[in-house]
Amino acid sequence: MHRRSSTQFNIQAMSSIQLCKMLKDRDVLSKPIITKIYNRALFLLQNEDARYNRLQFDARGLATILYQFAKLNYVIGSEFIEAWTNQAINLMDEFSSQGLTNSIWGFGRLKIQPQASFIDAWTNQATKTIDQFNHQNLSNSIWGLGWLEIHPQASFIDAWTNQATKTIDQFNHQNLSNSLWALGRLEIHPQASFIEAWIHHATKIIDKFNHQELANSIYGILTLNVLCNSKIKVPQLFISAVNQNIELFDENIEDIGQILKAHYYFGKQGVGILTSQNRQLLEKKFKNKLTPCHTSNLQLNVLKVVKKVLAQHTVKSEYYIKQITSSVDIFIKEKNTVIQVDGPYHFDDNNALNFSTRLNTELLKSYGYIV
């Protein structure tokens, strides 16, 4: 009889520590094995039998298991999240800076909105232990919050900003880019000392920024200016880096859109991002990559009503406006008016305007449109 390989051990008898160790070898695990690990983890999370106490998750294990599943982009069920969250809240005082970071990063990567009670507990613990956050913790935690559009308490933002400013020289190019991008999404205008430190360090290591990091950084500055009325100028070295590496902006339509949107906005104020030739090049690439819009039944019904009421006006559906690099639901030409209708596209789960719609609305107003 042949001995079973390490991935064939009895997963149903494993402890939380063993499960986490197995998942660290995720690159060599098959999907059926990962599913067995998930089911065993769920069993332990839901089980309150004292006989299983020594097998249960501690704070470190909770953060690790969520982080590892997030790295795998594994689809996690609501029953897992509920059980995980209940345990995490109870053990929150034992979460380290790394555990706090891995958990909020994991939620962000999985695009799962955690319960408000978890966020409150997480924010309190993170604020208390912020001095223990290194540059990677600071960047990944604000990225997770930004991706999920979770607006933390002011006390956390102040603590985060102070710690980030003190440790900014340890930030690498990705940390810098992710942090500014996230602050923009959260509409958080950081202290002037942070912005000055960010620009000083970012320009020193500008040669290490790839095209996506350049785009995210410039987009972060754009969103802070539009949504927070900041007066941050795009550093000239960033403008030069974009134009010198324009051929790298090729595959990702999101990066191209971010640069174009920033160029139009800052160009309106006098200094754009792109040379005329590079602007035309990116506009052509962007148009070639655009996908057709999906028009909802609600939007079609509203369109019929608007056309009937405003029969003498030119009313267009899915009208493309280049300054926001996207289409608006309905455009009334003679009134220069935009109507946004499609609920799921413009609103989040709490019926509030999502980030993209908030940004585009303010941009449209700045260009003279009525929204």
Domain ranges of the chain: 1-133, 167-290, 297-366
Q: How many residues does the chain have?
A: 371
Q: Are 222 and 261 in contact (CB under 8 A)?
A: yes
pLDDT digits (tens, 9 = 90+) for 265-276: 999 988 899 999
pLDDT recorded at residue 343: 65
pLDDT recorded at residue 344: 65
pLDDT at residue 98 above 60?
yes
Q: What is the mean pLDDT of residues 1-24?
A: 72
Can you state the angle between helices 97-110 and 116-128, rounded to 10 degrees? 150
pLDDT digits (tens, 9 = 90+) for 277-304: 999 999 999 999 888 888 888 888 999 9
Nearest to 161 by CA among 130, 186, 187, 136: 130
Q: Which two three-digit tokens encode residue 208?
A: 């290490």
Cβ neighbours for 341, distance < 8 A, ≥ 6 positions apart: 296, 298, 299, 302, 329, 330
pLDDT at residue 334 above 80?
yes
pLDDT recorded at residue 348: 74
* Range with the largest mean pLDDT of 3-17, 209-223, 243-257, 285-299: 209-223
pTM: 0.89
Amino acid identity at 301: N
* CA 266/CA 289 separation, integer angstroms: 24
pLDDT recorded at residue 1: 37
